[in-house]
Structure 1
Amino acid sequence: MSSAYVPTIGTTTGSSTDCQHQVSEIKGKLKRKLSYDTETTGKPCFAQKRRRSSHIGTKCQKYNSHLVRKLLSRQMDSRGYRIFNKHARSHERFRNFSLVSKLDSHFPDNTSDLFKLCFLRKRSKVVEIVSAKDIVFGLTQTGVCTAFDRLTSERICFLNIEPDEVIRSLFYNKSNDSLITVSVYRADNYSSLKCRSTSLEYIRRNKPNMGFNLFETESLRWPGFVEFDDVNGKVLTYSATNKVYKVWDLVNYNLLYAIVDAGIQEIKISPGIMLLIYNRSDVGNSTTNEECVVPLKILAIGSGETLKSFNHKIKPHKKIDFIEQFNEKLLVKQENENLEIVDVRTASIHCVDSTHFMTPSAFIFLYENQLFLTFRDHMVSVWNFKGELVTTFEDHMLWHPDCNTNNIYITSQQDLIISYCKNKKQKSNFGQHRNRVLSSSSEDGSDHNDEHDEVSSKGSLNISDIFTGKCLAKIVAKRSQSNYQEQLRALDDVTALYYNEELNEIYTGNKLGVVHCWSN
Structure 2
Amino acid sequence: MFLLCAAETNERICFLNISPDEVIRSLFYNKNNDSLITVSVYASDSYSSLKCRSTGIEYIRRVKPDAGFALFESESLKWPGFVEFDDVNGKVLTYSAQDSIYKVFDLKNYSMLYCISDKNVQEIKISPGIMLLIFAKATSHVPLKILSIEDGTVLKSFNHLLHRNKKVDFIEQFNEKLLVKQENENLQILDVRTFELTEVNKSEFMTPSAFIFLYENQLFLTFRNRTVAVWNFRGELVTSFEDHLLWHPDCNTNNIYITSDQDLIISYCKADSDDSLSEGNGDWDPSMSATF
What TM bracket, shorter-length normalisation?
Answer: over 0.9
Equivalent pair of 2:178/2:190 in contact (CA under 8 Å): yes
Equivalent pair of 2:210/2:253 in contact (CA under 8 Å): no
Counterparts of 1:391 and 1:301 in 2: how far apart (Å)? 32
Among 202, 212, 218, the alignment partner of 1:364 is 212
Question: What is the Cα deviation at residue 465 of structure 1?
Answer: 0.8
Among 203, 223, 229, the alignment partner of 1:381 is 229
Question: Relative contact order, CA 8 A, sep 6+: which one is greater?
Answer: 1
What TM-score, normalized by structure 1, do the two folds share? 0.54
2:252 is paired with a residue of what secondary structure?
coil
Query: Which one-letter code corresponds to 1:362 in the other structure?
Result: A
Once the two structures are overlaid, the 10-residue window that deviates more, 353-362 or 404-413, is 404-413
The answer to whether 1:300 aligns with 2:148 is yes
Structure with bigger strand share is 2
1:259-303 C-alpha deviation (Å, 9 max, x unpaired): 111110000000000000000113xxxxxxxxx110000000001
Match of 2:291 in 1: 466
Counterparts of 2:250 and 2:3 in 1: how far apart (Å)? 25
The answer to whether 1:168 aligns with 2:37 is no
Question: What is the Cα deviation at residue 349 of structure 1?
Answer: 1.2
Q: Aligned ranges for residues 433-448 of structure 1 at < 5 Å?
A: none
2:247 is paired with a residue of what secondary structure?
coil
2:119 is paired with a residue of what secondary structure?
coil
1:201 is paired with a residue of what secondary structure?
helix
1:430-459 C-alpha deviation (Å, 9 max, x unpaired): xxxxxxxxxxxxxxxxxxxxxxxxxxx621
Counterparts of 1:323 and 1:238 in 2: how far apart (Å)? 19
Among 195, 204, 207, the alignment partner of 1:347 is 195
Q: CA RMSD in A?
A: 1.3
Counterparts of 2:29 and 2:253 in 1: how far apart (Å)? 14
- The number of equivalent residue pairs is 286
Counterparts of 1:277 and 1:268 in 2: how far apart (Å)? 8
Question: What is the Cα deviation at residue 151 of structure 1?
Answer: 4.0
Query: Which one-letter code corresponds to 2:283 in the other structure?
Result: K
What TM-score, normalized by structure 2, do the two folds share? 0.95
Match of 2:177 in 1: 329
Match of 1:423 in 2: 271
The answer to whether 1:223 aligns with 2:80 is yes
The answer to whether 1:186 aligns with 2:40 is no
Among 226, 235, 238, the alignment partner of 2:92 is 235
Change in 2 beyond 3 A, CA 1:201/1:346: same
Counterparts of 2:271 and 2:99 in 1: how far apart (Å)? 50
Q: Unaligned 5+ residue runs, structure 2?
A: 275-281
1:251 is paired with a residue of what secondary structure?
coil
Runs (4+) of structure 1 exceeding 2 A deviation are 149-154
The answer to whether 1:315 aligns with 2:163 is yes
Match of 2:102 in 1: 245
Counterparts of 1:413 and 1:157 in 2: how far apart (Å)? 32
Counterparts of 2:47 and 2:122 in 1: how far apart (Å)? 24
Kindly name which structure, 1 or 2, has the bigger radius of gyration based on alpha carbons.
Answer: 1
Q: Unaligned 5+ residue runs, structure 1?
A: 1-143, 283-291, 427-456, 468-520
Query: Which one-letter code corresponds to 1:216 in the other structure?
Result: E
Match of 1:153 in 2: 10
Match of 1:259 in 2: 116
Q: What's the % identity of the aligned pairs?
A: 70
Equivalent pair of 2:245/2:273 in contact (CA under 8 Å): no
Question: What is the Cα deviation at residue 401 of structure 1?
Answer: 1.2
Equivalent pair of 2:225/2:251 in contact (CA under 8 Å): no
